Amino acid sequence: MHYNPLGDSDMRVSRLCLGTMTFGRQNSESEAHAQLDCAFDHGINFIDTAEVYPVPPDENTVGITERFVGRWLAGRSRDKAILATKATGPGRYAWPRGGQLNFTRANLRAAIEGSLQRLSTDYVDLYQLHWPDRNVPMFGKARFEPTLEREFTPLRETLEALGELVREGKVRYVGLSNETPWGLMRFLQLAEQHGLPRPATVQNNYSLVCRTWENGLAEIGHRERVGLLAYSPLAFGYLTAKYLDDPAAPGRATLFPAFVQRYRNRPRLDAAVADYAALARRHGLSPAQLAIAWAHSRWCVASVIIGATNRIQLEENIAAVDRELPPELLAEIDAIHDANPNPVV
């Protein structure tokens, strides 16, 4: 397993990160622990979770994923695992924390204390804002809409609150998620001006069918040494081509159709998936391995967040880390993208 620096931090994380959003809905606790064991046996040292997991989020299951991870961590050497979690933002759910979800000092302190308790640890290595407090296009939306503006916590106040958690040792580094170029640059500017923690990472959607990071955010990441944590490299399973082969195939898209709206009814998605799947098979790869191998090969990616619902899927995904894609294959991928760019945005 190859290890990359995590942004401008002193941490080195595995090229693949184990995502945990299925733990508690699609996976039992014993299955979750087996996945964690498998991942660490293969050299993965990086776990990503969130206080709102599992997905789809539900007020009756919120926090279960962190508890599963915490019980797995108990009794193990804490310094062997790099643990990331996320604070839920406002605008989507009326919970957790009684709906107090703006990124104020009090709300972020309540969020981290709850996560630390569930995770059975006294610190997290990377603490991320799950999505912005303010109005931004995200989760499949491509256009900023001023008419949707709402009150939001000033970014400096949020960064000062995170700085307190860093000074207290509850958080080592901070990160953003589902963030825009304006948001990232503003956080970086405030950190420099006021001696506050710089975002080390941004966790954004990045896959063969969603390469929007490569526009404004890629340059910022390069020049400011901010790592991309690429989530949904398989586009909620669509890039495995299983739904193309069988629209009723078991998976998140058929179990929770309302949760995958960013991938449903996208007229160009099936064509892109078919092209990438055919390309993978011509080169002796599964469609899933092509998608993950491409993502981890990108210069802008610090770590690719993978997930699975069983060990066979997980081992197939992990095996992709050993597949180096030749230049001619990468050129074919770019040609498909150029003909059908970003079909889920």
Per-residue pLDDT of the chain (345 residues; tens, 9 = 90+): 999 999 888 999 999 999 999 999 999 999 999 999 999 999 999 999 999 999 999 999 999 999 999 999 998 899 999 999 999 999 889 889 999 999 999 999 999 999 999 999 999 999 999 999 999 998 878 889 999 999 999 999 999 999 999 999 999 999 999 999 999 999 999 999 999 999 999 999 999 999 999 999 999 999 999 999 999 999 999 999 999 989 889 888 888 988 888 888 788 999 999 999 999 999 999 999 999 999 999 999 999 999 999 999 999 999 999 899 999 999 999 999 999 999 998
Report the C-alpha gap between 138 and 222 in whole angstroms: 22
Asked if 53 is an active-site residue, the reply is: yes
Query: 112: closest CA among 164, 64, 153?
Result: 164
Within 13 Å and on the Cβ side, how many CA atoms surround 21?
17
Quickly tell me which residue has 């958690």 as its tokens.
Answer: 165
150-154: list long-range contacts, CB under 8 Å, 24+ apart: 150/91, 152/90, 152/102, 153/102, 153/103, 153/104
Q: Which of 53, 206, 238, 276 is catalytic?
A: 53
What is the Cα gyration radius of the chain? 19
The domain locations on the chain are 3-237+295-323
pTM of the predicted protein model: 0.96
**Taking the domain 3-237+295-323, which CATH number applies?**
3.20.20.100
141-146: list long-range contacts, CB under 8 Å, 24+ apart: 142/212, 142/345
Query: 92: closest CA among 131, 143, 63?
Result: 131
Cβ density class 298-314: b for 16+ within 10 Å, e for less: bebbbbbbbbbbeeebb
